[in-house]
Chains A and B, each alone.
Chain A
Amino acid sequence: MASFKSTKIPIYPKLGEKVTPDTLYWKNYKAPVQIKEFGAVTSIDFSSLAPHNYAVTASTRIHIYGPFSTEPVKTFTRFKDTAYSGKFRSDGQLLVAGCEDSVVRLFDVSGKVALRVFKGHTKGVHVTDFTSDCYHILTGSDDYTCRLWDIPNSTELTSYKEHTDYIRCGTTSKLNRDIFITGSYDHTLRVFDARVEKSVMTMDHSQPVESVLLYPSEGLLVSAGGRYVKVWDLLKGGQPLVSLKNHHKTVTCLSLSSNGQRLLSASLDRHVKIYNTTNYKVVHNFDYAASILSLALAPDDESIVVGMTNGVLSIKHRKSPEEKREMVGKQRMQPVYRIFVKGRNYVPKKDDFLVSKPVKSHLAKYDKQLKKFNISKALDTALESWRRNRKPEITVAVMKELDRRGTLKNALAGRDEQNLSQLLNFLIGNVVDPRFTPVLVTATEMILDIYQAVVGQSSVVDRQLVRLQELVEREVDYQQDLLEVLGMLDTLFATSLPRKEVPCPGSSR
């Protein structure tokens, strides 16, 4: 005597992204904190010193925020015009920033007034950085030059005028105090050695370069410009390694996650994409409300800070392990029924005689009704509002099972106005779902057959029938359009495919 086999509820493949360790990792952030700045946020830089404050450059000021504060810890406002590229020195003591008025200012983090002012550029300075020995400053300007400055003397050391357009990005080597890289709107990336008069390496990005990034090993260089993110191998003399085209607007900012395993790119298309640095495949994606200009990650990925064109600074903090555990704990607490646990942990003694009780299999409500051949009741339970709305697949599976038994018509018949309108509502909601269409079309036909005699007696039902008709008509139109598109595509593919000769036994002889 076999036991009753319950109705199989098909598991449909989940649409959308698959759950990977990456998605789990990058989803593990709290809801973003949003701070309104005065203008577009052009640059964000984290201090490498312990509390990891970060400098946010927006409009004519630079704000320094603490790791968890929403109010700025400190503000630098001594700029005559729009400030650019507020950068911390590696010891976190000094901060350098360029300005639209071509002056580069150096601040003490604890002070207010600029310690040093470097004048020499003739146009706005968009790029500033400290060299790795901490005594020099690199600047890049709209006057096509990049210069090195000495901090103690506040004098200009060298000036390179090789770029033929605005210099909008640059970075210094963290391993060698003399090497730095600049990217310009003339589509080139240039590697300079301060000991040499000219650039030592030039790479063509073929788009105005918006951002450059050196890997911690400094063997690879990443550049962003236009819609492309390109990776260059510096050790092979600037050979292009990969070209990534995952954004549909200009990529503005690049960043590496703390362990160097993931690369992040932010774009004007309001997305942040995360790449795996071994195969350069996109593993995750963040959406933001506005075009993104700047992006920075705190050490250990503790927070992701994003600056946008509308002046909003969005900060996402990583969930702490306690919070995570709390969530899990709550879920586990729910199904505690002490009464069921009672006696379960009893360990039988050595010479006790064990009488095994047959395990009673639990059946769902609709299965219980199906087991008794109560077909109408089974359909009623399957149509209960929560099941109908939350899990339409169960309702459809029960309908399919009834259809298989040849009793769907009987189950659908003999319903009153309220019941029928419920049923029609369900059909309107799901009949065009490709997963459910085959079953629901038969059910709809049966309903129309059964109830055509009473059409016109209830305004509610009539209105729903009209809606159903409209829905089906619209769907038919869609299908027709799609088929037309498919036909067009087929012709396109057929013409583009090269004709290939297949060796024929006849021709070989």
Chain B
Amino acid sequence: MVAHAEIRVVHLGGSKINFREPVITNDSRFLLCASGESVKVYSSSSEECVHDLQGHTDLVSGIVRNPSNHLQVYSCSADGTVRLWDFTDGILIKTFIIGYPIYSIYVSENHGGVVFVVVPMANDKSSELFQLVAVHLPLSGDQEVEARELSAVLCDVSPSGAASFGRKGEYIAAVKGLQLEVFFFKNQKSHRFFLKPGNKKGAKNAFTCVSCHPKEDCIATGHEDGKIRLWRNFNQKKEYTYSTLHWHHGAVNTLQFTPEGTNLLSGGIESVLVQWHYTQENQKDFLPRLGGAITHIAVSPDGSLFCTSHSDNKITIIQSCVKVSAIIQGLVKGEGVRTDLTIDPRSKALVLNGKPGHLQFYSLHRDKLLYNLDIVQQEYIHEEGLDQFEVVKAAFDTRGDWLATVEERTQKGSELEINLKLWAYDEQTQSFMLNTTVTAPHEDQIIAMCFSPSPEITMLVTISFDGHFKAWLLADHSDTKEGASWSCDFVGGYHHLKPGCCCFSADGSLLAVGFQEVVTVWSPSWELLTTLSQPPGAIRELCFGRLSCSKYLLGTSTKNQLCCWNLLTCSLEWSTPVDVSLLQADPLSENMAAFCSQSGCSDLFVFKPGEPRPLYSQKALCTGKVQRAVFAPRDQMLESCEEHAQWLNRSQLYFLTQHMDLMTFSTKTEEDRLLASSKLLMVDDSVAVTPFYLLLGKHRQQQEALTNPMAERIQLPQGSIAIKELLYTPAHVLPSASFLCSMFVRSLLISSSSASETKVLQHTLPFKSLGSLRNVLVFHEMSCKMNRKYSQDVDKVINNDF
């Protein structure tokens, strides 16, 4: 980051939007959610992101409505600030500096000027204990205010959303572990209620969430074993009571009372939104199959909209507990990207596995999820401990006509289930259609697969741990009714060694398969052409050079070597001892990107196989290993003159770090362009007076002055009169619209006789008043019909007449 100031590593969108409970505004028009270091404002009807409230410097950990102003929200962040925003205009109003990392925020209508935040007990990040403190927000006109007036309310609370204000803000209830604590503000006393761990009969009594009834003294708590307890009479230490509701089979993740308290909403891993009727607890409504596990539920203040956030980075907006009205989907990254990052050649979207059993197509330019493709096509059972089918590999052919996916399911004590699916792009539906399913294509896991780039043949090669590689060909059964389908063409192997990687040359004339230490090179007719080997170390990745460097084959080995073979002489051209964790070739140029891991950091080298000097290198790119990377072609070529930034001209390099952050490289010219395009939107008359403006502004004013007289001349007086006539005449005396229309259109035309005609009309008006408009109109039309040549004569005649 220091070496080249012009190229910066930047975070790309696709951050979590389900981290904390979303907030629906009072008028139900907007939905706010924490998304990484910013707060996003979405329209609840159109699903579009309206504003991106940026200002926090660390993870945003909570959002609440300002109870005293319904157009403002508070947000808190781990950077130790609480910020007040106007979300309709996207303006930061105030920043309150607390000084401790904040993990959640609560407010109550009855505690004006106070926010309740969860901060660590000791002022260091390693602390495991958290406390709830009340912060009095000082009234001051400054943008940045320090709020140091803290008073502890509850100690030892859980850091995330397990507290709730009771009726009229009289008490606050918080849960942690096996303890429910209720703090009464009136007498500043807290009551604690404990449950037994209860291991018998599978009961797990640990609390997971809490919600207080807004109108009555009742606290609902959710538990790990799926039970919901309704606590009453808790202002006594001993005579408290609770009743139990049980429907969920997994833990209750979230609970929420509706604003009137008539219903209780609960959600968990089953992905079913359950609506319990408060007085008749045995009656409940369900909204099933919402997506991933429900993590948060939010209700709009008027109770008309619910929204649920899900574990698969999704927010669902539900209208009156019946209909899903909108879905806001973020990039799903899960625990790991098992499919490599790939680029769909058609939509230029980033493709990776998303929701369980789905592939997601994510537009990098718009930072928006385009669509999810259901690969597994099976009902997803939301249950912990089940082995589900997972999409593990995906590959596109060069034109984007075919997509190959591999899904697998490992099951304890039984065989591995693998399906290879081939999808054809359908022009009509603009999506991929399943063409062929191959069950158990290999006896073991598929390690890698790639399509042949040659335009004549549609071929896929898969390699597997069972020691074979298979070539799949699209066979056209034109003589039968079935149409084209895929079948296995060739099974190859090399001395029963396990293959590790495969790669086609750019023209599809060679296939290289790495079998441990040996690289085998095959022709399209499945002849073993040659073997290359550079022990020690098994081959980890293979990559053919492109364009002018197509005679080179690059390979990385586990023993920290990067080798380059010349395919014409079948000999090693060069090799260098670097620990390359990832090798990527740019599909549009000769460039190669190698990510090297060194002492816990990742370095990047961009080089051409034929040149000894790297084009670009950057040390300490990020901490940890780079997991995946991909070159995405640009929409339009960048014209950058700096030598070390030229490799970013045609395509952009995206990579995923160990912490699943999607990053990219951006150059100065690109940022300038982005800035310009964003400026274009706001540019109005609010241009500041700069030397540039002084130079250009004067010129522009002159131009305006020049154009203005023209504009005035276009404004035809006769037109305005005709319109006036139209507007002021009573409707019942007006002629038919078709008649008026032609007149009206003509009145807008510029005619050479306009000046004279105005005169005529001005004359007419005093004599024939409004009552005889028809005559005027007829006359008007007549005069228009007249030849231009005679118009003046006619004028004279008419003048004489009058």
Q: Which A residues are closer than 8 A to B by beta carbons?
A: 1-8, 10, 18-22, 370, 401, 404-406, 438, 442, 500, 502-505, 508-509
Contact = CB atoms under 8 A, between A and B. Distances in A.
A474 B486 CA distance: 35
A2 B355 CA distance: 13
A502 B528 contact: yes
B381 A5 contact: no
Interface string B457-489: 000000000000000000001011100000000
A370 B383 CA distance: 15
B530 A502 contact: yes
A19 B481 contact: yes
A401 B288 CA distance: 19
B704 interface: no
Given A20-B480, A21-B479, A508-B571, A1 B324 contact: yes
A1 B386 contact: no
B28 interface: no
A1 B289 contact: yes
Contact of A370 (B379, B387, B530): B379
Contacts of A500: 528
Interface in B49-102: none
Contacts of A19: 480-481
Given A2-B289, A405-B381, A505 B570 contact: yes
Nearest to B479: A20
Contact of B378 (A5, A20, A406, A509): A5
B531 A5 contact: no
Interface in B383-410: 383, 385-388, 409
Give 7 closest A-B pairs by Cβ, nearest first: A5-B379, A505-B570, A20-B479, A1-B324, A2-B289, A18-B480, A405-B381
Given A20-B479, A404-B388, 5 more contacts: A2-B289, A8-B378, A18-B480, A406-B385, A505-B572
Contacts of A7: 379
A502 B414 contact: no
A502 B520 CA distance: 10
Contacts of B287: 1
A306 B414 CA distance: 55
11 contacts: A4-B289, A5-B377, A8-B377, A10-B437, A19-B480, A404-B381, A404-B388, A404-B409, A438-B414, A502-B529, A502-B531
A401 B290 CA distance: 21
A6 B414 CA distance: 24
A372 to B, nearest CB: 11
Contacts of A4: 289, 379
B633 interface: no
A406 B530 contact: no
Contacts of B290: 1
B439 interface: yes
Given A1-B289, A438-B415, A505-B532, A406 B379 contact: no
B289 A3 contact: yes
A434 to B, nearest CB: 11
B177 to A, nearest CB: 30
A10 B377 CA distance: 12
A2 B291 contact: yes
Nearest to A2: B289
Contacts of B288: 1
A503 B570 contact: yes
A277 B45 CA distance: 67
Contacts of A404: 378, 381, 386-388, 409
A21 B481 CA distance: 9
Contacts of A502: 528-531
A505 to B, nearest CB: 5
Contacts of B383: 405-406
Q: Give the interface centre of A1, A502, A508 by most chain B CB atoms within 10 Å.
A: A1
B314 to A, nearest CB: 12
Contacts of B570: 503, 505, 508
A4 B378 CA distance: 9
Nearest to B381: A405
A7 B287 CA distance: 21
Interface string B715-730: 0000000000000000
Given A406-B383, A438-B415, A505 B291 contact: no
Contacts of B572: 505
Contacts of A10: 437, 439
Given A3-B289, A18-B480, A406 B571 contact: no
A17 to B, nearest CB: 10
A6 B409 CA distance: 19
Nearest to B477: A18
Contacts of B291: 2
A110 B386 CA distance: 86
Nearest to A3: B289
Contacts of B388: 404
A6 B381 CA distance: 13
Nearest to A367: B379
Contacts of A504: 530-531
A500 B530 CA distance: 12
A4 B291 CA distance: 12
A158 to B, nearest CB: 49
B571 A442 contact: no
A166 to B, nearest CB: 42
A5 B479 CA distance: 34
Contacts of B415: 438
Nearest to B287: A1
A370 B379 CA distance: 10
Interface string B736-775: 0000000000000000000000000000000000000000
Nearest to B409: A404
Interface string B560-594: 00000000011110000000000000000000000
A283 to B, nearest CB: 9
B292 to A, nearest CB: 11
Contacts of B387: 404
B374 to A, nearest CB: 8
A491 to B, nearest CB: 16
Contacts of A438: 414-415
Contacts of A5: 374, 377-379
Contacts of A503: 529-530, 570
Nearest to A18: B480
Nearest to A22: B479
Interface string B355-393: 000000000000000000010011101010111100000
A91 B386 CA distance: 81
Nearest to B531: A502
A16 to B, nearest CB: 13
Contacts of B385: 406
Nearest to B323: A1
B531 A405 contact: no
Q: Give the interface centre of B379, B477, B531, B570 by most chain A CB atoms within 10 Å.
A: B379
A296 B570 CA distance: 63
A204 to B, nearest CB: 36
A177 B391 CA distance: 74
Nearest to B413: A442
B528 A505 contact: no
Contacts of B533: 505
Contacts of A406: 383, 385-386
Contacts of B532: 505
A172 to B, nearest CB: 36
